[in-house]
């Protein structure tokens, strides 16, 4: 049975309660429907795992956000040594998935270059450059500097494919005005690119960007205004480091009357469906 990796940070930090449980249900159901087994990565009391759901008590702790820290690749060893519970980000999920032989990973949006501090960029980008996993996402999060993020991915040698789109998706919105160089229109094309990628000995990831479902995508102007307000709020509150992204996403949700939250749930489900279909296709000759 093909496997699809999911990141536990989406459930433990990225979404509020009870929407995090709804996201879990929708993503796992979509993966199963596409022919793949969902595998949630995490660190559970010091032990890295790619099957958090196999421990129901641990999964409930993560959904309750009970003492669960946010863990990127750099934090994995420390979390293990301290016997902690760690919810894995995109970067950490890629590492654990690749270590366990899982080729495909579905998430919401990747991290990237921050708007207010261009020297502040997510570890997701470096991990994409060095870890061979297909990452299905809705682009980079709208709170980021999207053109700069795409430029960094190009510099790092990460192949970016627009799935049925010529435009970089902006997480909450389908249209950002930033063009993508490469487009694919089928799961078969993605599988063929991945096989060629691996045949070349490339050790980088493959980034597949799918716009949020049209019925739930937000207007770009609405998102931009909400993000600017959220950034101002973050500056006033002096939010720093790993707390920035969940803070900004929550602020954007408030400013869009929770429309962005509905979009987030919708795109997570859609990405799990696409990721599951890719995993199922790769399992066939």
22-75: per-residue pLDDT in tens?
Answer: 999 999 999 999 999 999 999 999 999 999 999 999 999 999 998 999 999 999
How far is Cα 147 from Cα 160, in angstroms, rounded to an integer? 13
Provide the residue range defining the domain that includes 104. Answer: 3-282
Number of domains forming the structure of the chain: 1
| CA-wise closest residue to 8 among 46, 83, 58 | 58
Question: Could you report the per-residue pLDDT of 148-207, keeping only the tens digit for each?
Answer: 999 999 999 999 999 999 999 999 999 899 999 999 999 999 999 999 999 999 999 999
How far is Cα 138 from Cα 144, in angstroms, rounded to an integer? 13
Q: Is 70 a catalytic residue?
A: no
Question: Could you report the per-residue pLDDT of 108-151, keeping only the tens digit for each?
Answer: 999 999 887 656 789 999 999 999 999 999 999 888 899 999 99
pTM confidence score: 0.93
- Identified catalytic residue from 7, 19, 121, 127: 7
Average pLDDT of the residues in 212-228:
88
How far is Cα 86 from Cα 19, in angstroms, rounded to an integer? 20
Q: Which one is predicted more confidently, 177 or 88?
A: 88
Q: Is 22 a catalytic residue?
A: no
pLDDT at 238: 81
How far is Cα 264 from Cα 141, in angstroms, rounded to an integer? 10
pLDDT at 33: 98
Average pLDDT of the residues in 85-106:
98
How far is Cα 95 from Cα 90, in angstroms, rounded to an integer? 9
Handedness of CA 155, 158, 162, 168 (dihedral sign): negative
- Identified catalytic residue from 70, 127, 141, 269: 141
How far is Cα 191 from Cα 161, in angstroms, rounded to an integer? 12
- Number of Cβ within 10 Å of residue 101's Cβ equals 8
**Confidence label for 280 from pLDDT (cuts 50, 70 and 90):** very high
How far is Cα 180 from Cα 183, in angstroms, rounded to an integer? 7
pLDDT at 49: 98
pLDDT at 242: 64
Q: How far is CA 197 from CA 97, 192, 222, in A?
A: 18, 8, 38
pLDDT at 54: 98
pLDDT at 117: 64
pLDDT at 94: 98
Residue 187: give its domain's CATH number.
3.40.1790.10
pLDDT at 209: 98
What residues contact residue 104 under an 8 Å CB cut-off, 6+ apart?
A: 2, 3, 4, 5, 36, 133, 134, 136, 275, 276, 278, 279, 282
Handedness of CA 71, 125, 49, 31 (dihedral sign): positive
pLDDT at 43: 98
């Amino acid at each position: 049975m093909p496997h699809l990796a999911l990141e536990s940070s989406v459930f433990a930090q990225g979404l509020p309660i009870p929407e995090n449980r709804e996201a879990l249900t929708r993503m796992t159901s979509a993966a199963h429907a596409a022919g793949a087994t969902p595998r949630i990565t995490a660190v559970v009391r010091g032990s890295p795992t790619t099957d958090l759901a196999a421990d129901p008590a641990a999964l409930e702790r993560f959904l309750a956000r009970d003492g669960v820290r946010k863990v990127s690749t750099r934090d994995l060893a420390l979390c293990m040594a301290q016997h902690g519970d760690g919810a894995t980000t995109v970067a950490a999920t890629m590492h654990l998935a690749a270590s366990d032989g899982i080729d495909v990973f579905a998430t919401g949006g990747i991290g990237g270059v921050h708007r207010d501090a261009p020297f502040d960029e997510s570890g997701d980008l470096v991990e994409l450059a060095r870890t061979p996993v297909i990452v299905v996402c809705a682009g980079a999060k709208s709170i980021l500097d999207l053109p700069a993020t795409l430029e960094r991915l190009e510099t790092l040698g990460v192949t970016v494919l627009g799935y049925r789109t010529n435009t970089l998706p902006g997480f909450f919105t389908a249209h950002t005005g930033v063009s993508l160089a490469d487009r694919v229109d089928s799961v078969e094309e993605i599988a063929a690119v991945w096989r060629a990628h691996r045949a070349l000995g490339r050790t980088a990831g493959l980034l597949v960007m799918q716009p949020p479902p049209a019925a739930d995508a937000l207007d770009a102007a609405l998102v931009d205004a909400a993000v600017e307000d959220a950034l101002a709020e973050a500056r006033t509150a002096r939010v720093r480091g790993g707390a920035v992204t969940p803070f900004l996403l929550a602020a954007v949700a408030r400013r869009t009357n929770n429309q962005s939250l509905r979009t987030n749930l919708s795109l997570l489900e859609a990405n799990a469906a696409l990721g599951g279909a890719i995993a199922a296709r790769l399992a066939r000759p």
